[in-house]
Amino acid sequence: MKTLIMYYSKSGNTETVAKTLSNELSTDLIKIEDNKKRDGLFSMSRSVKDALREAKTKISPEKLDLDDYDLIYIGTPVWAGKPTPAIITAIDTYDFKGKNVILFATMKKSGDEKTIAKMKEKIQVQGAKVINSFAIKVPNQNGNGIKDYTIGIIKNLSLK
């Protein structure tokens, strides 16, 4: 069984989780890039607005062949209780039919339940099965704290 971890990360927290999962579970790893400029003074308010509207965005890679994968992890930060536009676009664009999926989210405060629920709803429409999910609260954690917490989740959920 071949496994892929795909994720979007702006601040690096979701990337730390994804890379830790990939290293611990020996998986392939793909970072979904949002081609829309999300830096600058007003970028976060525009980004939150896009997340609330579930707006699509241009992503890289535009196309992704998932045929070789039986299990796919999808990770996103929480923006206003929603998945990021890049992850919404990836879920709506890539073919997940027949795949087993594990969803994960990182957040500073809250919103993980709504984010996971929205991702689950969209991925099931694609014909995939969500077999597990988890969230990591990262308000004051550094990279090592996030990594240690992720390793704990791998053990607690028996992901190996």
Instruction: Encode pLDDT of 47-68 as tens digits.
Output: 666 665 677 778 989 999 999 9
Residue 114 has pLDDT above 80, yes or no: yes
Give the three-class secondary structure for 4. strand
**H or E segment to which residue 25 belongs:** helix 13-25
Residue 129, number of CB atoms within 10 A of its CB: 12
Confidence (pLDDT) at 142: 66
Q: Predicted confidence band at 144 (pLDDT cuts at 50, 70, 90)?
A: confident
Q: What is the 3-state secondary structure (H, E, C) of 83-116?
A: CCHHHHHHHHHCCCCCCEEEEEEEECCCCHHHHH
Return the minimum-mean-pLDDT range out of 110-114, 125-129, 146-150: 110-114
CATH code for residues 3-156: 3.40.50.360
Structural contact between residues 72 and 101, judged by C-beta atoms closer than 8 angstroms: yes
Residue 17 tokens, joined: 């989780």
Domain positions in the chain are 3-156
Q: How far are the Cα atoms of 17, 113, 144, 146 from residue 140, in angstroms, in the given order?
A: 15, 20, 11, 10
pLDDT 10s digits, 4-44: 999 999 888 999 999 999 999 999 999 999 877 766 666 66
Q: Has this prediction a pTM greater than 0.95?
A: no
Structural contact between residues 40 and 70, judged by C-beta atoms closer than 8 angstroms: no
Residue 154 tokens, joined: 């791998």
Structural contact between residues 9 and 77, judged by C-beta atoms closer than 8 angstroms: yes
**Separation of alpha carbons 23 and 15, rounded Å:** 12
Q: Per DSSP, which regions of 26-70 are E strands?
A: 28-31, 33-34, 59-60
Beta bridge pairs of residue 4: 28, 72
